[in-house]
Amino acid sequence: MKKIEHIGIAVKNIENATKIYTSLLGSSPYKMEEVKSEGVKTSFFKTGDSKIELLEATNPDSPIAKFIEKRGEGVHHIAFAVDDIQSEIVRLKNEGFIVLNENPKKGADNKLVVFLHPKSTAGVLVELCQDRK
Ligand code: ZN
């Protein structure tokens, strides 16, 4: 894995949270995007070589809505950049990690993404992401 690509933060209200992170980081989001298939609205901020992704649920069945219901707002996942997501899936499955979606799906910010179950990663939802060509 190359680096922490971004940290995902679940928020109740993306407009409010975007204002907060704009003043925290001293810069505006470079992208705001809705991912209909995941039921989320997102804001992306650059922080040096990494990013912050804010996520608000757009429907009550969205994983973000469920997360906030259970645990409140806060850090939702850590995403690592990978060059070859397919070979990482094979490697991590062999290592015993629980891969939540074996077929990488289209995530926000022009990425292919897979998630690892927090049960297998000491309680943290882990995302792997590869740039889509
Ligand atoms: Zn993410």
pLDDT for residue 108:
85
52-85 tens-digit pLDDT: 999 999 999 999 999 999 999 999 999 999 999 9
- In whole angstroms, what is the distance from residue 63 CA to residue 33 CA? 17
Whether the per-residue pLDDT at 121 is higher than 90: the answer is yes
How far, in Å, from the CA of 9 to the mean position of ligand 1?
A: 9
5-64 tens-digit pLDDT: 999 999 999 999 999 999 999 999 999 999 888 899 999 999 999 999 999 999 999 999
How far, in Å, from the CA of 94 to the mean position of ligand 1?
A: 23
How far, in Å, from the CA of 77 to the mean position of ligand 1?
A: 7
Give the global pTM.
0.93
- In whole angstroms, what is the distance from residue 57 CA to residue 79 CA? 18
DSSP state of 86: H
Ligand 1 is an ion; its neighbours by CB within 5 Å are 8, 53, 79, 127
H helix or E strand, kind and range, residue 40: strand 40-47
pLDDT for residue 122:
96
How far, in Å, from the CA of 1 to the mean position of ligand 1?
A: 15
How far, in Å, from the CA of 55 to the mean position of ligand 1?
A: 9
- In whole angstroms, what is the distance from residue 56 CA to residue 68 CA? 9
- Give the pairing of strands 125-131 and 74-81: parallel
